[in-house]
Each structure stands twice: as structure tokens, then as C-alpha cells.
């Protein structure tokens, strides 16, 4: 008898739900975009209530399309945009401010002062993270300091903090569950990844009351029950992981040295390092890969803030294309030897630069430059940024022969071939590219007995297409040198 799992994939620009069967095949799905708010330069916000409403809508629609009822589900898995910060009233479930999104840079000056005051080494030692506006800690403090009465209410226990997984859990369970998993906790800059607990010294440093914080569980665990009123029957919520960690699981990168790169709004490369929390000397992050049966598995990660969002900007902001799919024809007409470079530092630069003050630029423009060159540069920027991460990983002593890729952009063969060429690494695209949602489903399946082990899950992974590098070293080095020059021009270091 076929067993089914519902995966909630709550992303930065859309909410999605996918019903999977026990072979990992997608039965039906639905997706809904929601509004992005940009109140000031470098500020990015979401309406948390709109996120909840869109999530509920796509869950109901996916179930309807699949002809699978809630009563037929073995469990629900949740994966989410990480670091995005919500604070709400425990009594009403009402957010006290918009969700501050992971891309948001409003706390850059606070982070700069913390670094200048010499606190970064202690933060890295406990959390594996750098001090940066990217992470949740300074976002929490900003809300408490800027919403009238919020800090006093937080200290009296009236308020709750959560990343988006916690926010959805709270709503699905009718306020019964205020929890998160170890992967999401590890992205707050408040969680000690070695001791696997909230860190009192960091709570004091970032001025965050412990009473705000959710309970931290394994990635596959009993997260409570989605109430019958939402989907038509009560359903066990059995797996939670931040989106990049879920993608690592969906890609079956369970052995140390295996790596995946996800191309969504941003781009995130994650390398499994097993039970060792390796510290990068090249400004990569040490983070949780996942935690199962109380046992942490660690990873090294490079985070790029803008990948697919660059194409969204070319489409919606500049209106150079009507659909992202048009970009392939432009790239094929221009070819790889494009003299134009687009540095999409719209909200600063992530790894390995970590410059929150950098802003975007297009370099190499001439009178001959047209739409095709700029669009191609947008596609290439994703690959060049990945090269920055690979170079940092190699400088840390790791060597990648193969990179498993997923996310919306990987359906573009031109981009994937250029990625293999510029990285000089084999790129494997799986049959199921929606591996973030799949990872959440796998976690729920592990908890509910649909799967017996990670080994069983690993056997389900299949390669759809392998891209082998075929570019000569001189051209590769020349193109990348142009990128390095362009990035140096936008950095403030």
C-alpha cells in the first residue's frame, strides 16, 4: 500500500506544498507567490500572516490535486527560508512586526560594532557563524528595541520568537507547539552547535531573552499535530529542517565529503563534514547538516544572497525579459565569452566576502551591449559566485569532484554546463530537482516509519543528467579573473 507525505516548502518568494509518495515521486503540488516589502534601502520584510495563509492555501490545493486526503498522510515535513525572524504574541498568535527576512541588512552597523568590539571570535567558536545581519540574533534585538513595549513584554514571557518553521508549527498546532529543529536553531547565532543548546553568553551579547525561544528538537521528531480544521483531519508533523539542510537530505549527501548546491532565490553550497564541526579559515560557515536520534551531523556552507533573485530582478525590475525561460536563448546567442559582468550585491555580498555594504553593479558595458549580454551576465553571476565558494572550500583543504545541484535554476542546461566549466567540477542534476521539499518529506518519513534508515533513502536518489567540464583552463581563468575584478569594485573592504 502506497504511503504519502506532505512537504511544506516555505520559501523567500513563494510558499509551496508537494505530496510525495514513498518512492520520493511527486504526486501533486501547488505554489503561491507572496508580497515582498522593501521599506528602506537594504530592508526586506514579509507579512508573516500572509505566509501562513499562503502556506495553508497551497497545502489544501496540493491535497485536492493529488486525490490524497489528510487522513491518508503518514506525516508532514516542513522546510523553510532560514534566519527570517518573526515575533508574535503568545496570547493571540498575532505578529508584533513584519517578519524580517534573511536578506535584510538593517542591522549592519550593529554587527560592525560587535565585530569592532572583538566579539566575532566567540560567536564563531560557539555557533560556527560570523557576525552578520544575515542571522536572526540582531533581527530579534531590532524588533524588541523598535516596537514599543516589546522588550518588556518579551522579558515577561508574553512574546514568542521563531524562524518560519516555528511560526508555521505554532499555527498548524493551534499554539500547542513552540519548537524548532537543530538546523534552524543553528542559523540564529544564539545556538551553541557543540553543546546543542541555546547559549546564555550569546543571549546576553545579543540582548535576547531566553523566554522568547522555542524548544530545539531533532530534525525528525514529534512536532505535534496539525489540527483537523486546517486540512480536514489531524496529521502528525514529523520533520523540520531549514531549506538548505533539507536539500542536502533530499540529495542524499549523507557521507562526509558529499556536497550539494541549491539555486533558488539565493544559492547555498553545503558540504557534509560528518560528526566533525570543521572551522573554515576562508569565511565559510560551520553549521548543522541535520540532527537525528540526538546525534549531530555538521556541514560547511557558503551562502550567496542573490541567485534566482537576479533573474527575477531582470524580469520584474528592468523588464528585460518576460519569463526566466527566455534567458537561455539570450545566453546561447552571446556565448560564454561575455565581457559584461553583473554583480548582484542588492543586499550586500555573502560568502566568502561578507560585505553587507556592497551594492550591485553591471561592469563592462559598451555601446554594443544589449539585453542579451546583460541577461547572460545575470546567469553567469550565479556560476561565478559558486566558484567563489568552491575556491574557499578548496583553500580549506576539501576537494570536490562532483557537485549535486537542485532548485529552480538547474533546469537550465546552459547554466549547468557553464557551471561545470567554470568550476572544473562534474555537476550532477537529479531526476527530482525539488530536493528541498523532498528532504522535508524524507525527514517526516523517517519519524513515521515510512523509511527505516538514511541508507534506504540514499538508494532512491537518481541522476537525470551529468554535466562534465569541457572549457579550457586559460578561458576559465580569464573569465573568472574578470569576475574577481568586478567584485573588488563593489566591495567596501
pLDDT in tens, the chain (493 residues): 889 999 999 999 899 999 999 999 999 999 999 999 999 988 999 999 999 999 999 999 999 999 999 999 999 999 999 999 999 999 999 999 999 999 899 999 999 999 999 999 999 999 999 999 989 999 999 999 999 999 999 999 999 999 999 999 999 999 999 999 999 999 999 999 999 999 999 999 999 999 999 999 999 999 999 999 999 999 999 999 999 999 999 999 998 888 999 888 888 899 998 998 888 888 888 999 999 999 999 999 988 888 888 988 999 998 998 988 889 999 999 999 999 999 999 878 887 888 878 899 999 999 999 999 999 999 999 999 999 998 888 888 777 778 999 888 899 999 999 999 999 999 999 998 889 999 999 999 999 999 999 999 999 999 999 999 999 999 999 999 999 999 999 987 5
Structure-derived torsion over alpha carbons of residues 198, 200, 203, 208, reported in degrees to the nearest 10 = 80
Domains of the chain in start order, with CATH, are 4-243 (3.30.420.40), 252-430+462-493 (3.30.420.40)
Q: Is the pTM of this model over 0.85?
A: yes
Max Cα-Cα span within the chain: 64
Q: Strand (E) positions, 431-467?
A: 463-467
Yes or no: say if 169 and 184 are a contact pair by the CB < 8 Å rule: no
Distances (CA, A) of 158 to 85, 89, 150, 270: 17, 6, 9, 37
CA–CA dist 255, 231 (Å, integer): 36
Amino acid at each position: 500500500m502506497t504511503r504519502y507525505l506532505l512537504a511544506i516548502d516555505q520559501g523567500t518568494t513563494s510558499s509551496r506544498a508537494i505530496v510525495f509518495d514513498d518512492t520520493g515521486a511527486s504526486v501533486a503540488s501547488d505554489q503561491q507567490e507572496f508580497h515582498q516589502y522593501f521599506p528602506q534601502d537594504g530592508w526586506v520584510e514579509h507579512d508573516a500572516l500572509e505566509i501562513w495563509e499562503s502556506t495553508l492555501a497551497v497545502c489544501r490545493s496540493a491535497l485536492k490535486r493529488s486525490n490524497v486526503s489528510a487522513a491518508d498522510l503518514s506525516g508532514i515535513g516542513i522546510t523553510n527560508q532560514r534566519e527570517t525572524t518573526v515575533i508574535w504574541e503568545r496570547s493571540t498568535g498575532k505578529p508584533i512586526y513584519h517578519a524580517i527576512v534573511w536578506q535584510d541588512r538593517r542591522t549592519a552597523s550593529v554587527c560592525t560594532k560587535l565585530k569592532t568590539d572583538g566579539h566575532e571570535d566567540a560567536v564563531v567558536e560557539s555557533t560556527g557563524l560570523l557576525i552578520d545581519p544575515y542571522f536572526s540574533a540582531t533581527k530579534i534585538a531590532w524588533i524588541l528595541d523598535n516596537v514599543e513595549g516589546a522588550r518588556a513584554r518579551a522579558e515577561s514571557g508574553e512574546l514568542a520568537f521563531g524562524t518560519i518553521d516555528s511560526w508555521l508549527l505554532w499555527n498548524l498546532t493551534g499554539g500547542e507547539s513552540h519548537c524548532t529543529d537543530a538546523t534552524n536553531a543553528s542559523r540564529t547565532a544564539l545556538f551553541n552547535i557543540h553543546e546543542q543548546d541555546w547559549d546564555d553568553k550569546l543571549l546576553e551579547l545579543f540582548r535576547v531573552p531566553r523566554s522568547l525561544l522555542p524548544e530545539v528538537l531533532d530534525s525528525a521528531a514529534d512536532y505535534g499535530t496539525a489540527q483537523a480544521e486546517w486540512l480536514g483531519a489531524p496529521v502528525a508533523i514529523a520533520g523540520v529542517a531549514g531549506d538548505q539542510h533539507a536539500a542536502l537530505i533530499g540529495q542524499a549527501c549523507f557521507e562526509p565529503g558529499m556536497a550539494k548546491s541549491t539555486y533558488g532565490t539565493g544559492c547555498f553550497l553545503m558540504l557534509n563534514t560528518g560528526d566533525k564541526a570543521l572551522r573554515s579559515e576562508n569565511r565559510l560557515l560551520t553549521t548543522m547538516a541535520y540532527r537525528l536520534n540526538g546525534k549531530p551531523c555538521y556541514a560547511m556552507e557558503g551562502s550567496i544572497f542573490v541567485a534566482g533573485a537576479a533573474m527575477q530582478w531582470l524580469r520584474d525590475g528592468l523588464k528585460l525579459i518576460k519569463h526566466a525561460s527566455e534567458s537561455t536563448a539570450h545566453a546561447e546567442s552571446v556565448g560564454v565569452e561575455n565581457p559584461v559582468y553583473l554583480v548582484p550585491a542588492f543586499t550586500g555580498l555573502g560568502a566568502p566576502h561578507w560585505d553587507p555594504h556592497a551594492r550591485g553593479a553591471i561592469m563592462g558595458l559598451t555601446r554594443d551591449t544589449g539585453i542579451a549580454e546583460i541577461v547572460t551576465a545575470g546567469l553567469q553571476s550565479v556560476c561565478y559566485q559558486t566558484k567563489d565558494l568552491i575556491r574557499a572550500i578548496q583553500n580549506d583543504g576539501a576537494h570536490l569532484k562532483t557537485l549535486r545541484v537542485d532548485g529552480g535554476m538547474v533546469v537550465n542546461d546552459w547554466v549547468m554546463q557553464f557551471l561545470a566549466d567554470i568550476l572544473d567540477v562534474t555537476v550532477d542534476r537529479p531526476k527530482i530537482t525539488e530536493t528541498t521539499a523532498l528532504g522535508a518529506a524524507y525527514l517526516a518519513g523517517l519519524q513515521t516509519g515510512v523509511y527505516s534508515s538514511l541508507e534506504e533513502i540514499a538508494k532512491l536518489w537518481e541522476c537525470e543528467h551529468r554535466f562534465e567540464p569541457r572549457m579550457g583552463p586559460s578561458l576559465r581563468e580569464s573569465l573568472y579573473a574578470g569576475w574577481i575584478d568586478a567584485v573588488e569594485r563593489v566591495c567596501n573592504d
